[in-house]
Every structure is written in structure tokens, then in C-alpha cells.
Amino acid sequence: MITGIKGIRLRRATAVAVTSGALLATGALTAAPAQAVTAPSIVAKGGFVMNNANAATLYGKAADTRRSTGSTTKIMTAKVVLAQSNLNLDAKVTIQKAYSDYVVKNNASQAHLIVGDKVTVRQLLYGLMLPSGCDAAYALADKFGSGSTRAARVKSFIGKMNTAAKNLGLKNTHFDSFDGIGNGSNYSTPRDLTKIASSAMKSATFRTIVKTKSYTAKTVTKTGSTRTMNPWKNTNGLLSSYSGTIGVKTGSGPEAKYCLVFAATRNGKTVIGTVLASSSIAQRETDAKKLLNYGFAKLG
């Protein structure tokens, strides 16, 4: 009897082992494509993607080549503001004529802030990140830089941006502007920009802003009445066209061409990356989607 039971047990154990082996083999077959997935071809001159959880590289194309970054620079602008000690997001900033003159002179993207209006820091951050307002960027640099003149405050703020880049250990990033309208020395790389964005995404306020598709600010006019601004629309088309997108920022310019720093979460995994110098708005989004798909496939 004992021998019989042992025999049954042995047969059962063997059957379980065989079944497990079959499952393992099947598992290996289904997992193989995730490992063997072909790296995509992108039009952008530079690209980088990493696993946001551990910063492991998933894809790189000229990932450490310095390039003009356009308005993706504003990710660092927002990061520096949000890192200020005792930050009051409801503090009001009065819009100066200098901010308006600046965007007109540079034919820059703007939040269409009205001179004399009082706008909160939180609203300025939405105006910075959604419509990519260079007027909002100027207002924030003026508010959070230190010095007795506007020029000194702006210089101080850009200094904080470069200090933040150094603190992240970035060797290929330098800012000479608060908004990406550089003076010949405003550059980063796909890898560095991705790291800046990943760091910025640690802020709950930043995460909320960059995944917002549309935002309507109510500002206070010179006379104390309330002005309802036209809605600010997020320039990041992936928020509407790629499932799981959570940010982060577009950029463009004559030198920068078309740039996009992007992030998406699927099945609890977050992939974050950058494309620099793509050929059009549509193409930078196509490039980004290819890299996101590839990143998720690699993570399995």
C-alpha cells in the first residue's frame, strides 16, 4: 500500500513537473518577443527613453549629443520654481509691460497675459507649461530670481537653472534663457532632458499641470475685478492621442526644430523620454509613440 501511494505521489510530481515545464516553455515563448523587439527608426536627430522607476536606458539615438532644446527648457523653469523653499502657489505676480514687450519682440509663444493683471504663481505655471507662454516664463524668472533689477533677477534665476542641472549630475546641459529663446548657449541632450523631466515629475504639482489638457485662469485686473482668460490648451498632442500619457512638454524653434519630452504609464510602469530635432509637430509625436511602444515592449 505504501509503495502504491509513493508511486502515485511520484507520478503526480512528475505530471506537475512536466506541466510546469510546459508552462515555462510557453512563458518563454510569449516573453521572447518582448526581449527581441526591434528598435524603431525615428526621424528625430536625437532620442532617448528610460524606465522612470530606475532610470534604466531602454533606447538611445545620439542620446548625449548637445542640441538646442526650444521650449522643453521650460521643464527646468518649472522645476526651479517648484523647488523654492516656502513656495506659495497662490502668491500673486503683477504682469509687467516688459513681459508683453518681450514676447512681441521675439514673436514667441505666449499665455497672452494682460499687463497690470495679478496672476498667481500656480496660474503662471499652467501658462508656462500648457500654451508654452514665454511671458509666463519671464514673470516667473523675475519673481523667483534675486537682485535689485529685473536683469539681475533674470540672470540669478537662470543661474538657479544651471545649478539644478549640476545637482542632477548633468554634463551636457546649459541654460542661458528662462524659456528656450537662447543666446547661443542654451542646450541639452535627449538623456539629460529626460532626467530633468523625471526629476520634475517627482513634484505632484508639476505632474498635475503637465497632464492637464486645458486650463482656464481667472486673474485679477488693475481695478480689482475678475478676468476670465481664454483657456490655455496643452501643446502636447500625446495627451489626446496616446493612451496613458501623463506629460510632459513640447518645444520648437528654428534651430531646435521639433522637440518633445514625453511620459506615459501603462500597467503600473512609466516610460519617459525625449526626441530632439524632429521634422514637424506630427512627426515628433509619431517618433515619441514609436519610442513609448518600444519602451513598454522592452519592459514587458
Instruction: Answer yes or no: are the C-beta atoms of 174 and 164 closer than 8 Å.
Output: no
- Name the active-site residue from 61, 68, 74, 252: 74
DSSP secondary structure code for residue 245 in this structure: E
- The kind and range of the H/E element at 226 are strand 226-228
> Is 45 a catalytic site residue?
no
CB atoms within 10 A of CB 92: 15
User: Catalytic: which of 68, 71, 252, 278?
Assistant: 71
User: Across the strands, what pairs with 262?
Assistant: 248, 273
At 62, give phi and psi (nearest 5°): 45, 45
Extract the runs of DSSP E, i.e. beta strands, from 107-192.
118-120, 187-188
Kindly report whether the peptide bond that precedes residue 271 is cis, defined as omega within 30 degrees of 0: no
Return the SS3 of 25: helix
| Catalytic entry in 61, 68, 79, 132 | 132
**Rounded distance between C-alpha atoms, residue 110 and residue 70, angstroms:** 14
Told to judge if 74 belongs to the known catalytic residues of this protein, a careful annotator would answer: yes
Residue pointed to by grid coordinates 548633468: 170
Residues sharing a CB contact under 8 Å with residue 272, sequence separation 6 or more, in sequence order: 49, 50, 52, 194, 197, 198, 201, 248, 261, 262, 263
Q: Which residues have a catalytic role annotated?
A: 71, 74, 132
